[in-house]
């Protein structure tokens, strides 16, 4: 192993949270390294479609947003983190705009949709490639700065040193390396790909969502919460085969699609809480009112024919392209859908600066817990990545300079 490089701040992971942390730390004056398991583009954040929440509507406020988060979490979220999430939301959006992310606009304002569990229209979108647009803006800012990127570096171990941390990496097609840093930001995402594989189920997640970094932090003694609370996305694609595991954006339901059983009956509030809607689908199928795909999988209908074409063209063009490419036009026939493993609700315990219970070790994005409690609302994960990624980067930079 060659002698370790030394940085002020080391960020692990290149999703929205890691990129936000790296950009914020660098802009705060730190000498930053970002190491990530695959290519810099390989992450869940880039796959996010539907949107990002922020209270911009005239009848909305950060307080109403916070109340929706608490209710959706069944009052299990950490109110302190929820207040920060919703309170920082507008400035997080403006920051992304400064970095070049252009949200879809209409009538002089943002195009806003109402997502499941929300009392107001609050979901900003970039068509239905919102995660792609946000990560591109963050990636451009990161690559335009002085921070170094180490792709194909998988964190294998982390140990405290007299002046911070030493991180050891397995390197694809290379020898293991170590990197020393004053502070470390863990932004390595969740574990739903690995968990789905273990359960022999489908997942919406990128294959890099395997969760070993959480394990490394737990072994060091970091505290975690709600790690058992994994979220099913209500609308996994069930048919055709090429769409299995695809997450049909919740914006389909925001723009009028409804869930129907085999008898054509609406059996649940299609804009209800995610866990409630998923459970209603499971229950409907168990009660024998579901339908079966051609390869024998359980499903119900998502009647997307109710979505006005103009809304679909603006807010669902990628979904339309994917399904039409697979031989189904969602505007003329309903889709077959079934819940699919999607998101790790819990994670490492953090404070308002995204510091874990171990000093100098930060966590942001899906690897952190508390912000969503045991049931996340759509659109709050990308927001969490930006809000707490920025906070983590700034705080890690400040602590590293002491
Ligand atoms: C299909 C899909 C659609 C979604 N739609 C939305 C949406 O519309 N709105 C919303 O708010 N949320 C959405 N989500 C959820 C949201 O996108 C993710 O929860 C969020 O982007 C996670 O960001 P992150 O930075 O925490 O992790 P990720 O984006 O998953 O990034 C984790 C990074 O860590 C790296 N990594 C992992 N292990 C290691 C290791 N050992 N060493 C080094 N690096 C490692 C990975 O390679 C990756 O670069 C969606 C998720 C999916 C999968």
For ligand 1, whether the C-beta of 48 sits within 6 Å is: yes
367 and 308 fall within a common domain: no
Domain identity same for 329 and 353 = no
The 10s digit of each residue's pLDDT in 82-106 is: 999 999 999 999 999 999 999 999 9
Q: Which residues are catalytic?
A: 274
Copy the structure tokens of residue 391.
């906070």
Whole-number pLDDT of residue 2: 53
Atom of ligand 1 nearest to the CA of 154: 42
Q: CA dihedral in degrees (375, 380, 383, 388; nearest 10)? A: -20
Q: What's the total number of domains in the chain? A: 2
In ligand 1, which atom is closest to the CA atom of 389?
25
Residues 117, 256, single domain; the answer is no
Q: Could you tell me how many residues make up the chain?
A: 402
Residue 402 has pLDDT above 90, yes or no: no
Question: The tokens of 184 are what?
Answer: 């470390």
Calculate mean pLDDT across residues 359-388: 98
Q: Does any ligand 1 atom lie closer than 6 A to the CB of residue 14? A: yes
Tens digits of residue pLDDT in 135-167: 999 999 999 999 999 999 999 999 999 999 999
Q: Is there a domain that residue 246 lies in?
A: yes
CATH label of the domain that carries residue 335: 3.90.700.10
Look at residue 5 in the predicted model and tell me its pLDDT: 80
Indicate whether 275 pLDDT > 60: yes
Which residue shows structure tokens 């002046």? 163
C-alpha 370 – ligand 1 centre gap (Å): 17
User: Could you tell me the pLDDT band of residue 125, with boundaries at 50, 70 and 90?
Assistant: very high
Q: Which two tokens stand for residue 400?
A: 């590293």
If asked whether residues 9 and 148 sit together in one domain, one would say yes
What are 222-238's pLDDT values in tens digits? 999 999 999 999 999 99
Q: What residue owns the CA closest to ligand 1's atom 9?
A: 379
Phi, psi (rounded to 5 degrees) for 223: -90, 150
C-alpha to C-alpha distance for 100 and 75, rounded to whole angstroms: 35
Q: What is the pLDDT of residues 8-32, one digit of tens each?
A: 999 999 999 999 999 999 999 999 9
- Name the residue with the closest Cα to ligand 1, atom 14: 48
Q: Is the CB of 43 under 6 A from ligand 1?
A: yes
Tokens representing 229 are 């609370």
Yes or no: say if 350 and 368 are a contact pair by the CB < 8 Å rule: yes
Q: Are 102 and 126 in contact (CB under 8 A)?
A: yes
The per-residue b/e assignment along 150-186, b for 16 or more CB within 10 angstroms, e otherwise, is bbbbbbeebeeeeebbbbbbeeeeeeebbbbbbbbbb
105 occurs within a structural domain: yes
- Contact by Cβ (8 Å): 345, 230: yes
Q: What is the pLDDT of residue 322?
A: 97
Same domain, 72 and 171: yes
Which residue has a Cα nearest atom 10 of ligand 1?
Answer: 379
| 226 within some domain | no
- The token pair that represents 8 in the structure block: 């002020």
Residue where one domain finishes, among candidates 304, 319, 341: 341
According to DSSP, the residues that pair with 52 across neighbouring strands are 124
Whether 70 and 171 map to the same domain: the answer is yes
| 267 CA → ligand 1 middle, Å | 31
Q: Which residues contact 231 (CB under 8 A, 6 or more apart)?
A: 274, 275, 341, 342, 343, 344, 345, 375, 376
Tell me, yes or no, if the pTM score tops 0.75. Answer: yes
Please, what is the angle between helix 380-400 and helix 130-143, to 10°? 20
Q: Is 385 in the pocket of ligand 1 (CB under 6 A)?
A: yes
Q: Choose between 78 and 108: higher pLDDT.
A: 78
| pLDDT recorded at residue 1 | 47
Taking 80 as the threshold, does the pLDDT of residue 118 lie above it?
yes
Same domain, 187 and 300: no
Asked, for residue 219, whether it belongs to a domain, the answer is no
Q: For ligand 1, atom 4, which residue shows the shortest CA distance?
A: 48
Q: Is residue 227 part of a domain?
A: no
d(CA 94, CA 61): 16
Residue 356 in any domain: the answer is yes
**Same domain, residue pair 255 and 334:** yes
Compute CA distances 32 → 19, 105, 144, 244, 395, whole Å. Answer: 11, 34, 13, 39, 13
The reply to whether 213 falls in a domain is: no
- 202 assigned to some structural domain: no
Omega of the bond prior to 11 within 30 degrees of 0, cis?
A: no
Ligand 1 contact, 209 CB (< 6 A)? yes
Residues 29 and 42: their CA atoms lie apart, in Å, by 27
Q: Judge whether 192 and 342 are in contact, CB under 8 Å.
A: yes
| Distance in angstroms (rounded) separating the CA atoms of residues 295 and 240 | 9
Average pLDDT over residues 175-186: 97
Owning domain of residue 37: 5-191+345-400
Question: Same structural domain for residues 26 and 96?
Answer: yes
With a pLDDT cut of 70, the percent of the chain lying above it is: 99
């Amino acid at each position: 192993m060659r002698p370790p490089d030394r940085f002020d701040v080391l960020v692990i992971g290149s999703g929205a949270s890691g990129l936000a942390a790296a950009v914020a730390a660098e802009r705060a004056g730190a000498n930053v390294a970002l190491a990530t398991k695959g290519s810099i583009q390989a992450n869940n954040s880039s796959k996010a479609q539907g949107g990002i929440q922020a209270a911009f509507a005239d009848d909305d406020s950060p307080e109403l947003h916070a109340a929706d988060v608490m209710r959706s979490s069944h009052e299990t979220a950490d109110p302190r983190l929820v207040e920060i999430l919703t309170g920082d939301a507008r400035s997080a959006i403006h920051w992304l705009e400064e970095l070049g992310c252009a949200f879809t606009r209409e009538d002089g304002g943002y195009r806003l949709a109402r997502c499941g569990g929300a009392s107001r229209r609050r979901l900003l979108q970039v068509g239905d490639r919102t995660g792609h647009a946000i990560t591109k803006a963050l990636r451009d800012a990161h690559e335009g700065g002085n921070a170094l990127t180490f792709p194909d570096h998988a964190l294998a171990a982390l140990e405290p040193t007299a002046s911070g941390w030493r991180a050891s990496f397995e390197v694809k097609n290379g020898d293991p390396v170590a990197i020393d840093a004053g502070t470390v930001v863990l932004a390595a995402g969740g574990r739903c790909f690995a968990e789905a594989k273990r359960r022999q189920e489908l997942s919406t997640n990128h294959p890099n969502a395997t969760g070993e970094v959480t394990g490394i932090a737990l072994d060091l003694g970091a505290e975690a919460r709600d790690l058992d609370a994994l979220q099913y996305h209500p609308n996994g694609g069930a048919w055709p085969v090429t769409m299995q595991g695809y997450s049909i954006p919740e914006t389909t339901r925001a723009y009028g699609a409804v869930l129907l059983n085999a008898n054509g009956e609406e059996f649940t509030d299609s804009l209800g809480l995610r866990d409630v809607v998923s459970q209603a689908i499971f229950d409907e199928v168990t009660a024998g009112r579901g339908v079966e795909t051609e390869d024998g999988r359980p499903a119900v209908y998502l009647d997307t024919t109710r979505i006005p074409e103009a809304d679909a063209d603006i807010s669902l063009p990628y979904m339309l392209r994917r399904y039409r490419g697979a031989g189904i036009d969602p505007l003329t026939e309903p889709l077959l859908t079934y819940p699919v493993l999607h998101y790790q609700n819990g994670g490492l315990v953090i404070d308002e600066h995204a510091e874990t219970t171990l000093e100098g070790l930060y966590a942001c994005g899906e690897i952190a817990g508390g912000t969503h409690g045991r049931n996340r609302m759509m659109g709050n994960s990308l927001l969490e990545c930006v809000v707490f990624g920025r906070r983590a980067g700034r705080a890690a930079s400040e602590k590293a300079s002491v």
